Amino acid sequence: MKVPYPIFRTEDLCAYYGDFMAIKHVTVSIPEHQVTAVMGPSGCGKTTFIRCLNRLHELLPGARITGKIYLRDEDILELDPIIVRRRVGMVFQRPNPFPTMTIYENVLAGYKLLGIRLKREEADRIVEDALRKAALWDEVKDVLHRRGTFLSGGQQQRLCIARALAVNPEVLLMDEPTSALDPKATLQIENLIVELKNTVTIVIVTHNMPQAGRISDYTAFFYMGELIEFGPTAEVFTNPKDPRTEEYLTGKFS
Amino acid sequence: MKNRIILTVITVLALLPAIPLFLILFQLLKEGLSSLSLDFFLHLPAPPGEPGGGIANALVGTLIIVGLAVLIGVPVSILAGIYLSEYGRHGKLSETIRVCADVLQGVPSIVIGIVAYAWVVKPMGHFSALSGSVALALMMIPVVVRTTEEVLRLVPDILREAALALGVPYWRTVLKVVLPTGMVGVSTGILIAVARIAGETAPLLFTAFGNQFLTLNPLEPMSALPLVIFNYAMSPYEDWWRQAWGASLVLVFMVLGLNIVSRILARKIAGEK
Ligand SMILES: Nc1ncnc2c1ncn2[C@@H]1O[C@H](COP(=O)(O)OP(=O)(O)OP(=O)(O)O)[C@@H](O)[C@H]1O
Ligand SMILES: [Mg+2]
């Protein structure tokens, strides 16, 4: 399926854990400035797929990738993974702020950990900017120098989003970012995602169908490592082409 | 009823191992408390046979010898621990390092002393605090290596991934995220190792050797608490026996203090989880 402005394009992407093939021959284009939901039953390879897109997958022992992944016309498998990861940020299932750092330092982690020195005003600006984008500024502006781990789960997750946004990535990958959060915090993050697509392209793994319906523009549907359906969310949800998508959507398996 | 009897018996039996510790503390307090005074801490030993004098030189010596041992032993141990946890977790080299550490830990301390004698004292031509520190460093290395490895392994992988996903190279992730996150635990390991070596006597006998005078020069022979205890206890003078008890009391409380601090740190880690 063709999308208007693809930012990511995979060609015959396969991902392995040792001999086990977890992603099978996936060819897909992900549109820029849109929210793409990655869905499918448990164990179908959603996490594996998005971890290919920032080359985290290959860090596991025995894991490898074949095929091509283009990020705007450059094959990221040929690029330095460090560069790829700065252009493609990630938010994980469980909030993981650095426990030894303050909120302020957490937001700047993408600079500090790399040894990049920032002027005081510049650092302040980046922190405020990222926290505002993550809709967390008002809640933490007076406690910037406290540990990030003191925050609630939902706040920690938004802190992690701010940390990822602070380095200005082109794409933000999110792996079930709300599955560990309560409904209120989930709603906040959903609203945030919709806001964010003006600045970044978002690829979000979710098990939650209503959530995908609310926030995503496109949906990719995986089944046992294969991409079996991809298209505008409204179409995929109302008129799935593959019977397995329909079964999933009607709750036959999960 | 029967249950309660069994519980009581088990409780009493469980307390048995604590009894020797209390007996030791009681004995030390009984024999040693009378020698403790400000002079005991601030003065140098009196000439043989004369009453009075203190252990200032031995206190300072222990601090210097143990401090130097930490400087020598800790950096290499932490590097090895980082390697075991973060780089070659399952590799052949790691297994070799682990076995070596375990074997080194089992080498009798007197043998470590002889080795330090051959390595440092012989080439230098005389006894020195430095050679004692080398011996003690060899004793603390295995402890620090293994605790560092264990503590770093406890650092959750999602923190490593958070850093890597920001484009941070692996080695920087290890140094700036994993190590700081595990730092309290690593420090606990160091304290436990220091507590272990602070009382070691055999490795110091023919290395640091002992010194009647106060010296701060690590290239000279130096006194240390265990050496003072050994020498005084072997002497024919009653006043020195008394001082040996006093020095023992000081040493035991130092080690006890280190253990308590490391326990508090360990609890702090557990609390953070
Ligand atoms: N580290 C690993 N080593 C070996 N196999 C793995 C590993 N991680 C995942 N797998 C396997 O790869 C397949 C895809 O896993 P993945 O985690 O990508 O699924 P998922 O769609 O994200 O599932 P979930 O919805 O439960 O998060 C599964 O069959 C899983 O067992
Ligand atoms: Mg998953």
3-state secondary structure B194-243: HHHHHCCCHHHHCCCECCCCCCCCCCCCECCHHHHHHHHHHCCCHHHHHH
Nearest to A6 by CA among A79, A73, A78: A73
Ligand 2 geometric centre to CA of B100 (Å): 40
CATH number of A6-96+173-249: 3.40.50.300
Is any ligand 1 atom within 6 A of the Cβ of residue A50? no
Residues B225/B210, Cβ–Cβ less than 8 Å:
no
> What is the pLDDT confidence band of residue A1, given thresholds at 50, 70 and 90?
low
CA distance B189 to A17: 36
Q: A167–B176: do the CB atoms touch at under 8 Å?
A: no
Residues A85/B165, Cβ–Cβ less than 8 Å:
yes
Q: What is the number of other CB atoms lying within 10 angstroms of the CB of residue A198?
A: 8
How much of chain A exceeds pLDDT 70, in percent?
98
Q: What is the pLDDT of residue A240?
A: 87
Write out pLDDT tens, residues B177-212: 999 999 989 999 999 999 999 999 999 999 999 999
A111 touches chain B (CB under 8 A): no
Q: B167–A83: do the CB atoms touch at under 8 Å?
A: yes
Phi-psi group of B209: left, alpha or beta (phi > 0 → left; psi -120 to 50 → alpha; rest → beta) = left
pLDDT at A75 over 60: yes
Q: How many CA atoms lie within 13 A of B157 on its CB side?
A: 5
ipTM for the whole complex: 0.93
Q: What is the pLDDT of residue A185?
A: 87
Q: A113–B172: do the CB atoms touch at under 8 Å?
A: yes
CA distance B84 to B95: 9
CA dihedral A123, A129, A135, A137 (to 10 degrees): 50
**Domains of chain B, residue spans:** 54-272
Name the residue with the closest Cα to ligand 1, atom 6: A17
Query: What are the tokens at A100?
Result: 């030894």
**Domains of chain A, residue spans:** 6-96+173-249
Burial of B110 (0-12, 13-18, 19+ CB in 10 A): middle
Q: Average of pLDDT values for A195-204? A: 93
Residues A138/A162, Cβ–Cβ less than 8 Å:
no
Q: Which ligand is nearest to the CA of A15?
A: 1
Q: What is the pLDDT of residue B191?
A: 94
Helix pair angle (A120-133, A153-165), 10° resolution: 120
Query: What are the tokens at A126?
Result: 């980046």
Query: What are the tokens at A168?
Result: 């200005």
**Cβ neighbours for B213, distance < 8 A, ≥ 6 positions apart:** B44, B57
pLDDT at B115 over 90: yes
Q: Which amino acid, residue B148? A: T
Fold topology of B54-272:
MetI-like fold (1.10.3720)
Q: Which ligand is nearest to the CA of A45?
A: 1
Residues in chain A: 254
Please identify, by atom number, the ligand 1 atom nearest to the C-alpha of residue A42. 25
pTM, entire model: 0.88
DSSP lists the bridge partners of residue A13 as A26
Q: What is the number of other CB atoms lying within 10 angstroms of the CB of residue A78?
A: 9
Write out pLDDT tens, residues B24-57: 999 999 999 998 999 999 999 988 878 888 999 9
